Structure 1
Amino acid sequence: MNNKIIIASLAIALSAGACQSKTEKESTPSEILESTSASHTSTLIGHKAEIQFPEMKATIEYTSTDTLHWSTVGENGAVNEGDEKMSYKALGEDLHFLNWIEQDGFTVSQIINTKTGEVTAFWSYDGADHKRESQFVTGTFRLID
């Protein structure tokens, strides 16, 4: 009798576990769809975004895993743009690390949190006295495509 109770209990537990696993598997595609169609995404590749920094507004198109197109509009209205080879690594579902060197030597490193919309960037560039200068800046990130 005790063996029948133990076997029945195990069968119920295994059945419940199988149902739960199936439910979790079925919810995964909708979670991915929600993630990519919402304000954040698990990848930046194939998307276009705006980043607002204190000094400028940047529009960036992440064209492939190793290239991007950027354009900026400065406080004075000056427009710059370029196509760059980049290094990209997804640090998690919502965290992304990017680095690129622009043709004039301006170097950009960014950590983007697509869930919170926060960007932390490190810029390195030639200063007025031709010595290398750098600064950290923060901005806000928004997907536009």
Structure 2
Amino acid sequence: MNYIGKTLMVDFGMARATLRINSETSLTFRILEKDGQTVSTSETVSLKLISLRPDLCLLCWQEQSGVTVSQVHDYSNGAIHSIWTTPGAALQQFSGSLKVTEAV
């Protein structure tokens, strides 16, 4: 399945967000909840998207804040694995679930 133009619901437990893959070079994320608090942060970023095999992709981007994000999307199993590097060089890893939704 081609995920370009689709919106994904992502749940890491401590945070929920939507990701819209606009193209192979553009992604819009919207953070909906963080640490149990409702938030509404969104940004469109330049995207590097690599297809590893059918239904398995690597996505990488850098946010305006300087956070660098690398994610593996496993669409067959509804799983996401993410590593974030903060501007201060702290490394964080989270795994969670993802599913294709209607546009949010």
Map of 1:48 onto structure 2: 7
Q: How many residues align?
A: 100
Q: Name which structure has the greater RCO, CA cutoff 8 Å, separation 6+.
A: 2
Structure 2 unaligned residues grouped into runs of 5+: none
How far is the alpha carbon of 1:76 from its aligned partner? 1.5
* Identity within the alignment, %: 23
Structure 2 counterparts to residues 1-145 of structure 1, below 5 A: 41=1, 43-73=2-32, 74=34, 75-126=36-87, 131-145=88-102
Q: For the residues of structure 1 that align with 2:10 and 2:48, how far apart are their CA atoms?
A: 18
TM-score normalised according to structure 1 size: 0.66
Q: For the residues of structure 2 that align with 1:63 and 1:96, how far apart are their CA atoms?
A: 15
- After the TM superposition, which parts of structure 1 deviate over 6 Å for at least 4 consecutive aligned residues? none
Map of 1:25 onto structure 2: none
Structure 1 unaligned residues grouped into runs of 5+: 1-40
Amino acid at match of 2:8: A
Q: For the residues of structure 1 that align with 2:3 and 2:59, how far apart are their CA atoms?
A: 10
1:8-67 CA distance string (max 9 Å, x none): xxxxxxxxxxxxxxxxxxxxxxxxxxxxxxxxx3x3211111010122111011111100
Say which structure is richer in helix. 1
Q: For the residues of structure 1 that align with 2:99 and 2:19, how far apart are their CA atoms?
A: 10
Q: Which shifted more, 67-76 or 81-90?
A: 67-76
